[in-house]
């Protein structure tokens, strides 16, 4: 199964319909880069168990610092049958560079 890399602008726009999941650690979620408004923290190590109750047809946007950890999560979730998985390309670094709204920073 595949997932799609999306731009920071596309990730922000997807918030209306998608579940936005940040796979960083708690101190990163509230740290200097902040997080996307409305996102939920699900550290990468817990993504498999947390996702077991999620709707596999609802769009998912996965976020981390640079896009690497969220890419691994996206690949795992796509492989687990999630059909509309997106990875924030460049992570919160790219999101902040795009000047989009953040919380917790």
- Domains of the chain are 4-97 (3.40.250.10)
Residues 60-81, mean pLDDT to the nearest whole number? 97
Residues 16-26, mean pLDDT to the nearest whole number? 97
Per-residue pLDDT at 26: 97
Per-residue pLDDT at 1: 65
What does each C-alpha distance from 103 to 25, 31, 73, 80 come to in angstroms? 15, 10, 22, 30
Active site residues: 64
pLDDT interval class at 73 (50, 70, 90): very high
What does each C-alpha distance from 48 to 67, 74, 78, 80 come to in angstroms? 18, 11, 11, 9
19: Cβ–Cβ under 8 A, 6 or more apart, which residues? 40, 54, 58, 59, 60, 61
- The pTM is what? 0.96
């Amino acid at each position: 199964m595949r997932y799609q890399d999306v731009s920071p602008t596309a990730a922000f726009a997807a918030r209306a319909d998608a579940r936005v999941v940040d796979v960083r650690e708690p101190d990163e979620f509230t740290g200097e880069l902040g997080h996307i408004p409305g996102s939920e923290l699900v550290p990468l190590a817990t993504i498999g168990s947390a996702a077991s109750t999620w709707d596999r047809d609802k769009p998912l946007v996965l976020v981390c610092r640079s896009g690497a950890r969220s890419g691994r999560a996206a690949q795992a979730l796509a492989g687990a049958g999630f059909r509309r998985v997106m990875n924030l390309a460049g992570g919160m670094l790219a999101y902040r560079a795009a000047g989009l709204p953040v919380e917790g920073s």
